[in-house]
Amino acid sequence: MRIITGKYKGRHFDIPRSFKARPTTDFAKENIFNVLIQYVDLEDAKALDLFSGTGSISLELLSRGCSQVVSVELDRDHHRFITECVKKLLPSPSSLHTPHSSIIPIRADVFRFIKSCKEQYDLIFADPPYALKELPQIPDLIFERQLLKEDGIFVFEHGKDQDFSQHPHFVEHRSYGSVNFTLFRAKATPSESATPTDATGNEV
């Protein structure tokens, strides 16, 4: 597993052979980040990585300047691997779990995390198992819980059989080999996009 670019560019991490996680390929990762930077300024952004697996995306986001990356993974061994990778990168591993740390690995069920999360993010990335039966509901959950800031971007990796082009928050779809990404964007709330009025309250 390799970090593509940023301050930790070129750093490699050996993934244990026992891992079942399917890391995003370097080819797909590099291409989707080239698309992503057209929508989000990653410098000082607050990001959430769901189903983080090996932590490949979390580490890439950290390398590219995100001020905070919350990495959510249920599997104990994967969570431990992510934590160890971060300790090798950060100058102060002891602050790993403090509110001001660069990355916060959380071992948790993603759906429970989504339902209890009170934070908002500039960017959310999710790479669930392609066979997960709840996969089609994930975009709706993200927007129902209002986890994205206004104009925030949600990047969803999924199998070729899913089509989210009719979703109200759909932006675009990208495919790199067998890897598919759909991008969604948070829209302004009705109060923020309301029709402007003049001093008498009439629409203008």
- Please give the residue that has the higher pLDDT: either 177 or 188: 177
- The residue type at 144: E
* pLDDT tens column, 109-156: 999 999 999 999 999 999 999 989 999 999 999 999 999 999 999 999
Is the separation of the CB atoms in 9 and 31 below 8 Å? no
Q: What is the pLDDT of residues 3-28, one digit of tens each?
A: 999 999 999 999 888 887 667 888 99
Collect all residues with Cβ–Cβ distance below 8 Å to 53 and sequence separation of at least 6.
Answer: 21, 22, 23, 73, 78, 127
Average pLDDT of the chain is 87
* Residue 97 or residue 189, greater confidence: 189
Give the pLDDT confidence of 25-73 residue by residue, as tens digits. 889 999 999 999 999 999 999 999 999 999 999 999 999 999 999 999 9
Question: Phi/psi at 154 (nearest 5 deg)?
Answer: -115, 120
| pLDDT over 50 at 204, yes or no | no
| Cβ proximity of 5 and 36 under 8 Å | no
Q: What number of CA atoms fall less than 13 Å from residue 59's CA on the CB side?
A: 30
pLDDT for the residue 84: 92
Model pLDDT, residue 158:
94
Tell me which of 8 and 198 has the higher pLDDT. Answer: 8
Spell out the residues 6+ positions from residue 157 whose beta carbon is closer than 8 angstroms to its own. 24, 125, 126, 127, 128, 179, 180, 181
Q: Which residues of 33-52 are buried (b: 16+ CB within 10 A; e: fewer)?
A: beebeebbebeebbbbbbbb
**Is the predicted pLDDT of residue 176 greater than 70, yes or no?**
yes
At residue 93's C-alpha, the angle toward residues 83 and 21, to 5°, is 10
Tell me what pLDDT residue 67 has: 92
Alpha helices (runs of H) in 43-172, residue ranges in sequence order: 56-63, 76-89, 110-116, 138-144
What pLDDT does 18 receive? Answer: 83
- pLDDT number for residue 201: 47
Q: What is the pLDDT of residues 86-95, one digit of tens each?
A: 988 876 544 4
DSSP state of 26: H
Taking the alpha carbons of 194, 115, 133, 129 in that order, is the dihedral positive or negative?
positive
Rounded CA Rg of the chain: 18
The pLDDT assigned to 100 comes to 43
